[in-house]
Each structure stands twice: as structure tokens, then as C-alpha cells.
Amino acid sequence: MKVFCRGPDPTNYIASKALNCLNELGFKDPRISLLKVKLHLFLIGLAVKDRGGLRDIEKEVSSEIQLIELCKAEIDDEEVLKLIDLEIAFAITMSSKITAKGLPTLEGKEPINNHHVVISLLEGKCLYLLDNFLADQDFERAKVSLLICETRIKSKDISDASKESIVEAIKVFQKYECIKLEIRAHICLAKLNLM
């Protein structure tokens, strides 16, 4: 639905309907809870991608995260819980990136530099989880590295480590045949070399 529908509304409707359906069934099962978490994350993804009302994004993301926390209570697998935490941290980062970028335009003020907020969220939360609990998640690490690198390029705050991490990310994207992400990573590398 997400791919084929033109607007986010029908997709949102279907995802909400699926969630209602699961709630009505009333099962206490970790797999059902995980499915609910995924649907909530899907709704966050739609909200962030749609970027309709910037203020609504923050509200929607925080309310979905609250619901995810409720579902988490029914899951006991530690690795799955850490992966959910990682997804939540990533979602918060993306939403804060978008809202902070858009708010000055709404209020008619000078753009605020929120790059350090995004980088601190990515490094402080996402990389921390990946380093300490999810060492085998190479794709997730590559995703985070790419976002850190892109943000650092924008804030002109690069280091040698940025280049190394983006080279590693390119290898991972090649391995999983994610062509679009690989191209973005190559663009990042080119920009790093030019700087």
C-alpha cells in the first residue's frame, strides 16, 4: 500500500485498521506485540516521510513511541528489545532532523543549526546500542554511519573516522545490493574527498 498509493492517507488507514484488528483480537503473544511495534514504526515512517504538518510530526511520533513502549512490555527477547530501541532512537533522530529544519521557515526566524543535536542522537543513542548490544547488525550500523557522515558534511565537521566509516558502509550496501544507499554513500565519500 505504501508503495502503490499516491498519498499517505490510505496507507495510514490500512495500518491503523491492522492495529485495531490486532487489538480487537486481544491476544497476549510476543509475536503479536512485535507486529504491533512494526506497525507503529511504519506509521512513524509515514509521518516523517509525509512531512505534512511539522508540529504534528512531533506529536505523532511521541504518541506512537508511547504505544510502542506499551507493546515492549509484552516482549521478553533482549535482542528484539534492543533492536526496537534502536529503531525508536533512529525515528526520534529523523523526526528531530526534519522538524528542526522546518520550524524556522514556519516561524520566519533564522535557520537554527541542529546538526549537533542529530549527531549527538546518532552517536549517543544509535551507535551506543550498536556497539554494546547489537554488534552483528552491520546494515543498521552502515545506515547510521551514512546519516552521521551526511550530517557532518552539512555542518563541515569532518574527521578521518568519517571517511573510514563511509567506506565500510559502502561495502555493506554493496553486499546487500542496496544500490540507492550505495550511491548516496559514494556521493558522501566524494564530498569528503573534496573538502
Partner 1 sequence: MVANRNEPEMIAFPTEADMPALELKKTKSKHRRKSARKSMLVLESNFQPGRYFWLQILVLKETELLFRPAESVRAHIHMNLDRELMEVEMQKFEYMSLMSLAMLARLKAMHAYSEKRLENSAICEHGLWKISKYNAIYANYLKHSDSLECCHEENIRTPGDLLSLFERHENNFRSCLHTSILKKLVQEDGKWSSLSIFINSSPCRFKKEAYSYR
Q: At its nearest, how many Å lie between partner 1 and the CB of residue 47?
A: 10
Q: At its nearest, how many Å lie between partner 1 and the CB of residue 94?
A: 5
Between 82 and 191, name the residue whose CB sits nearer to partner 1: 82
Asked if 37 and 29 count as a contact pair (C-beta separation under 8 A), the reply is no
Between 49 and 59, name the residue whose CB sits nearer to partner 1: 49
Between 60 and 140, name the residue whose CB sits nearer to partner 1: 140
Between 39 and 192, name the residue whose CB sits nearer to partner 1: 39
Q: At its nearest, how many Å lie between partner 1 and the CB of residue 97?
A: 10
Q: At its nearest, how many Å lie between partner 1 and the CB of residue 77?
A: 5
Asked if 56 and 84 count as a contact pair (C-beta separation under 8 A), the reply is no
SS (H, E, C) the chain: CCCCCCCHHHHHHHHHHHHHHHHHHCCCCHHHHHHHHHHHHHHHHHHHHHCCCHHHHHHHHHHHHHHHHHHHCCCCCHHHHHHHHHHHHHHHHHHHHHHHHHHHHHHCCCCCCCHHHHHHHHHHHHHHHHHHCCCCCHHHHHHHHHHHHHHHHHHCCCCHHHHHHHHHHHHHHHHCCCHHHHHHHHHHHHHHHHC
Q: At its nearest, how many Å lie between partner 1 and the CB of residue 112?
A: 22
Q: How many Cβ atoms from other residues are within 10 Å of residue 170's Cβ?
A: 21
Between 12 and 107, name the residue whose CB sits nearer to partner 1: 12
Between 45 and 110, name the residue whose CB sits nearer to partner 1: 45
The residues of the shown chain that bind partner 1, judged by CB under 8 A, are 1-4, 14, 17-18, 20-21, 24-25, 27, 29-32, 34-35, 37-38, 41-42, 44-45, 48-49, 77, 79-80, 83-84, 86-87, 90-91, 94, 134, 137, 139-140, 143, 146-147, 176, 178-181
Q: At its nearest, how many Å lie between partner 1 and the CB of residue 83?
A: 4
